[in-house]
Each structure stands twice: as structure tokens, then as C-alpha cells.
Amino acid sequence: MARRPLEGVPGLRAIAADLLDPASLPTALTDVAPTHVFITAWMRQATEAENIRVNGAMLRHVSLVTGLKHYLGPFEACASAVTLPKTPLREEQPRLAIENFYDEQKDEVFAAAARDSFSWNVHRPHTVVGEAVGHAMNMGTTPPSIP
């Protein structure tokens, strides 16, 4: 995706879009379902203050993917009756009273959003399935154990 994308590159679907024109993005991204997004562009401005304003405007939303440990805590605490939350699990439940690296990630995103005026959301899926060869946490590609 670029304001003036390259055409004719094998294996590349060129999409013309301008991140500085958010109203144009829904049309430009119709029928687009990216699996990865890498922001690698910047627009040179006359001053650093303008660089910050213009390039910062291109990034206005962060989606943080955490998971079930948000509700149950780290692996070593999951089976502990002391840390199990009240069920059913609800968005408005307070943080668990144990350390959880998800809390630090959320705090960083929330602080940055307040400071830099972007929107955010947090996804808490029970399971994430994707390509992660050799990673036992991915149930979609983890081979079954053989007795």
C-alpha cells in the first residue's frame, strides 16, 4: 500500500492509499485482508516538528493481542485456586493480584495512546492459530503427543 504503489511486481498486490487521508482508506482497502502490516514509510518534512506531526498521523490505532492469561494469569499460576477469577469472565473485571506481562504491555499502549492521541483496542483470544513451527503454544501446528 502506498500513495503511488509500484505496479507489475510479481506476487505483489499494489494498493493505492494515503494514510494521511483516513476517510479514503475504507474504499482503498475493500476486499483486502492483510495477514501482516509493516509500516516502513515516512514523509520528509521541512522541520522535525512537522516530521512528527505528519508521520505520527499515519499511525492512529494500535491493536494489542494478548490472550487467556489476561484472565487466568501466567502458566505457573493458572491452576492455583488463589488466582482463579470469578466466572464468567468479563471485560470489566479488575486485574489479577499477581504479576502478568500483559498488564505491562497494556500500560505501555495506554500511556502512549494518552500521550500521542491514537486509539487502541485489546484482543484476548483463548487460542491463536497460525504458523509457529516448533512452538508448543500453537495448537494449530503442534503435533499430537504419541504415547
Per-residue pLDDT of 73-95, as tens digits, reads 887 776 665 666 778 888 788 88
Residue 19, classified by CB atoms within 10 Å of its CB into exposed (0-12), middle (13-18) or buried (19+), is buried
Structure confidence by residue, pLDDT tens digits, 1-31: 888 888 888 888 888 888 778 888 889 988 8
Instruction: Supply the pTM of this predicted model.
Output: 0.52
CA distance 65 to 18: 26
Of these residues, 71, 86, 102, 106, which one is catalytic?
A: 102
117: left (phi over 0), alpha (psi -120 to 50) or beta: left
Give me Rg for the CA atoms of the chain: 20
102 is a catalytic site residue? yes
Q: Domains of the chain: which residue ranges? A: 1-59, 61-147
Of these residues, 69, 71, 86, 106, which one is catalytic?
A: 69
- As a whole number, mean pLDDT of residues 31-38 equals 72
Give yes or no for a cis peptide into 88 (omega within 30° of 0).
yes
